[in-house]
Amino acid sequence: MSEALRVGLAGLGTVGGGVIRLLDANRELIARRAGRAIEVVAVSARDRYKDRGVDLTRFAWVDDTTALAQQADVDVVVELIGGSDGPALTLARSTLNAGKSFVTANKAMLAHHGYELATAAEAARVALKFEAAVAGGIPVIKGLREGAAANAIGRVYGILNGTCNFILSKMEAEGRDFAEILAEAQALGFAEADPSFDIDGVDAAHKLSILASIAFGTRPAFDTVAASGIRHLLGADIAEAAALGYRVRLLGLAEDGPDGLFQRVHAHLVPVDHPLAHVTGSLNAVVAEGNFVGRLLFQGAGAGDGPTASAVVADLIDIARGEYGPPYAMPAASLVAAATADSGERRGRAYLRFTVADRVGVLAEIAAAMRDAGVSIESLIQRGAMADGSVLVAIVTHEGPERSVAQALEKLRGSQSLVGQPLWMHILG
C-alpha cells in the first residue's frame, strides 16, 4: 500500500469534528477503498482549547490557519472555516500556490471565487474539490461532473436549502404561517439566529451558481442569480397550492438558453406527481435533465456533520486515488462567461396571491390590471375574510411571458386595495 495521504484540517466546527470522527470510525475501510490511508496530521481553528468531543492531541496544532498550506507534511488542505473571503480564501490561494490539493465545503467562496481557484488548481496540476459545498452528503457534484458528463444538460434544479424545506414541510403539515414556524425552528436550533442566508435564498443561490457552472460550462456567476426566499409565504398559500394539486418548494433552477444563462432561486409550485414534491423535511434533492439520460434525481441529507463529512472524505478518497478531474467539469480556460438571460422573455405559469381590503371593486381592479398587461387567468379563488378583515385572492395564470405578469403587478403597485405586497410563485413546468 502506498504512503498515507496527509491532511491539514482548517476549521473545527461541527463538520470539522465530523470529518475527524468519520476518518476514525471508517479508517480501515477507507484505506482499502482509497488504496492508502487518509490521515489528519495538522489542524487549525480559532480556539485551541474548546472541547469538541474529539481528541486533538495527536495532531499538530497550527495557530495561523493560513500557514497550514506551508506545513511540509501536509499533502492536502481541507477548509471548513466558511466565509466567501477572509482566511478561507487566503488559505485556498496559498494551498493551491503551494502545489497542494484543496478540499472545501465553502459554497460562498466557490460562488464568488470559484473561477480564480479552478484556474489556480489547474495551473498547479492539483485537485480542487467541493462535493460538500452543494447538497451536503449527496454526491451531486460528482453526479453532474462525471455521471452525467456525456449529456448536454437542459436544466438543473432542486431543493438546495434544508432549513427552507423543513419550514415549508412544517407549514404544509400544520397549516401555519412562515413566521410562527421559523420562530419554533430557531428555538429548536434548526434555524440560525440570523436566518436570512437560508430563508432569503442566498445559500441556495451560492449552490445553484456552482451547479450551473458544472452543468453548462459557464463561469460561476453568483451575481446574476435572481434570488428570493420564503419569508412572505402564508399557510394559506400552501393550502391553495395543495387544492390545485401542487406543493410549495424553494427551488434553485438554472437553464442555459439561446439568450444566455438563467439562474433563479424562488418559491415554486411543484406538481404532486413530480419527485421533488415528495422531498420533505430537511432533505435536499437535485434534478438534472440531460439530452440522452433524461431526468436524473439525486436525493439525501443536505446538511449535518455526518453527511457533510461524508462528502468531504469522498473528495479525499478521490484525491488519494489520484482522480483529480476538472473542478467545474471542464478546464477553467474553456468555461464561458455567459450572458444573463432576460427573465421577462421566459414563458410559464404563475401563482399570484393578493391580500386585499374587503370592499367593492377590488377584484375588478386586479382583473383589469391582468387584462391590460395581457395576463390570461386560468383560475381565481377568493376566500372569506381573515381575522384582520383582509381577504386573500389567489390566481393561477395560463402560460405566458413573465414580463406580462411583472407589468400587471407594476400597475397594481401602490393601489389602496392591496394590503401588503402581492406574492408571486412560479409553477414548475
Give residues in contact with a second copy (CB under 8 A).
18, 22, 25-26, 29-30, 32-35, 131, 137-139, 142-143, 146-152, 217, 275, 278, 285, 290-301, 304, 306-307, 309-314, 316-318, 321, 323, 325-326, 329-331, 334
Nearer to a second copy, 87 or 139 (CB): 139
Strands (E), 202-259: 226-227, 246-257
Q: Which of 85, 105, 235 is CA-nearest to residue 175?
A: 235
Q: Tell me the C-alpha distance between 286 and 294, whole Å.
A: 14
* Cβ distance to a second copy smaller for residue 223 or 323: 323
Residue 119 assigned ligand-binding role: no
Tell whether 134 is in a known binding site: no
With residue 122 as reference, give the H or E element that holds it: helix 107-124
Cell, residue 203 = 445559500
Among residues 341, 340, 342, 344, which one has the least CA distance to residue 410? Answer: 344
H or E element in which residue 328 lies: none
- The type of residue at 22 is L
- Please identify, using beta-carbon distances, which residue of 6 and 264 lies nearer to a second copy: 6
13 assigned to a ligand binding site: yes
How far apart CA 322 and CA 174 sit, in angstroms, is: 49
Stretch (H or E) spanning 305: helix 305-320
Residue 229 CB, shortest distance to a second copy, in Å, is 26
CA distance 95 to 67: 9
Residue among 227 and 287 whose Cβ is closer to a second copy: 287
**Is-catalytic flag, 207?**
yes
DSSP characters over 167-182: HHHHHHHHT--HHHHH
Q: In angstroms, what is the minimal distance from the CB of 157 to a second copy? A: 15
Q: Which is nearer to a second copy, 16 or 290 (CB)?
A: 290
CB of 25 to a second copy, least distance (A): 7
Nearest to 23 by CA among 60, 78, 75: 78
158 is in an annotated binding site: no
Which cell numbers hold the place of 399? 402560460
Distance, CA of 287 to CA of 158 (rounded, Å): 6
Minimum CB separation of residue 314 from a second copy in Å reads: 5
Catalytic residue among 129, 142, 207, 411: 207
For 268, the 3-state DSSP assignment is strand
Neighbouring-strand partners of residue 250: 267
189 is in an annotated binding site: no
Q: Is 192 annotated as a binding residue?
A: yes
Shortest Å distance, C-beta 194 to a second copy: 27
Task: Determine whether the annotation assigns residue 290 to a binding site.
Answer: no
Q: Tell me which residue has cell 386586479.
A: 366
CB of 187 to a second copy, least distance (A): 24
Q: 16 a known binding residue?
A: yes
What 3-state DSSP class applies to 228? Answer: coil
Length of the chain counted residue by residue: 429
* DSSP assignment string, 202-261: HHHHHHHHHHHHHHHTB---GGG-EE--STT--HHHHHHHHHTTEEEEEEEEEEEETTEE
Shortest Å distance, C-beta 323 to a second copy: 4
- Choice between 230 and 311, CB closer to a second copy: 311
Q: Is 412 annotated as a binding residue?
A: no
Nearest CB to a second copy, comparing residues 84 and 151: 151
Helix ranges, 50-106 (H): 86-97
DSSP 7: E
Read off φ and ψ for residue 167, nearest 5 degrees.
-65, -45
Binding-site residues, in ranges, read 10-17, 107, 192
Binding-site residues for NADP(+), in ranges, read 10-17
Binding-site residues for L-homoserine, in ranges, read 192
> Residues with catalytic annotation?
207
Binding-site residues for NADPH, in ranges, read 107
